[in-house]
């Protein structure tokens, strides 16, 4: 027979379970937005440890913080952990977003450059014919992206003149 005490205990367990929204990083980001995110606002690391249910030195903490940053970026905010010695995070001022954007661009450029290096260094004799075709296509696209990033003015001119891909490539060879 189920007593009133057991029913109450079950109700409390169900209520507590409903308070936890998964994934925790998403619930944390939504809570931050609901509380009011503003430029210059500082969050102690404990704020995130409590909501993410892990310590700041856990790998999960870093992954979750990256996801929170992605959500905040869609609202025009960047959450930085720099300068806080791991003890705090701050929403950088709006006038610093351009610096963050430049850092993202440099990182993207570096990743594409590394991809081209890997692609050019891959021994093609280790690939099947279909893998080689796929590999060479991916490498060609990455090389073009890299060229676009290196010489954006020349490619903008080529695009405005309606030049074809091969004609645009010749601009990078000059």
**Residue 159 pLDDT:** 65
33 and 66, same domain (yes or no): yes
104 and 85, same domain (yes or no): no
Cα separation of 152 and 24, whole Å? 41
pTM of the model: 0.70
How confident is residue 5, by pLDDT bands cut at 50, 70 and 90? confident
134 and 76, same domain (yes or no): no
**Residue 21 pLDDT:** 72
Higher model confidence: residue 158 or residue 21? Answer: 21
Considering only the C-alpha atoms of the chain, give the largest distance between any 2 of them, rounded to a whole number of Å.
87
Cα separation of 37 and 34, whole Å? 8
In a domain, 11, yes or no: no
- Please tell me what DSSP assigns to residue 127: S
Q: How many domains does the chain have?
A: 2
**Residue 7 pLDDT:** 62
37 and 54, same domain (yes or no): yes
Range of the domain at 144: 97-173
Residue 64 near residue 74 (C-beta atoms within 8 A): no
**Which tokens hold the place of 160?**
């405005």
């Amino acid at each position: 027979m189920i007593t009133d005490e057991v029913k109450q205990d079950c109700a409390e367990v169900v209520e507590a379970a409903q308070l936890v929204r998964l994934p925790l990083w998403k619930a944390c980001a939504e809570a931050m937005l609901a509380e009011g995110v503003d430029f210059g606002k500082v969050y102690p690391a404990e704020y995130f440890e409590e909501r993410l249910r892990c310590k700041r030195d856990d790998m999960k903490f870093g992954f979750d913080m990256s996801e929170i940053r992605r959500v905040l970026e869609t609202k025009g905010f960047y959450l930085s952990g720099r300068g806080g010695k791991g003890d705090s995070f701050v929403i950088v001022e709006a006038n610093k977003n351009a610096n963050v954007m430049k850092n993202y661009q440099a990182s993207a450029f570096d990743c594409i450059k590394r991809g081209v290096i890997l692609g050019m260094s891959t021994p093609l004799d280790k690939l099947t014919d279909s893998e080689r075709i796929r590999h060479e296509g991916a490498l060609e696209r990455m090389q073009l992206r890299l060229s676009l990033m290196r010489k954006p003015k020349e490619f903008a001119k080529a695009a405005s003149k309606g030049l074809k891909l091969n004609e645009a490539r010749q601009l990078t060879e000059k």
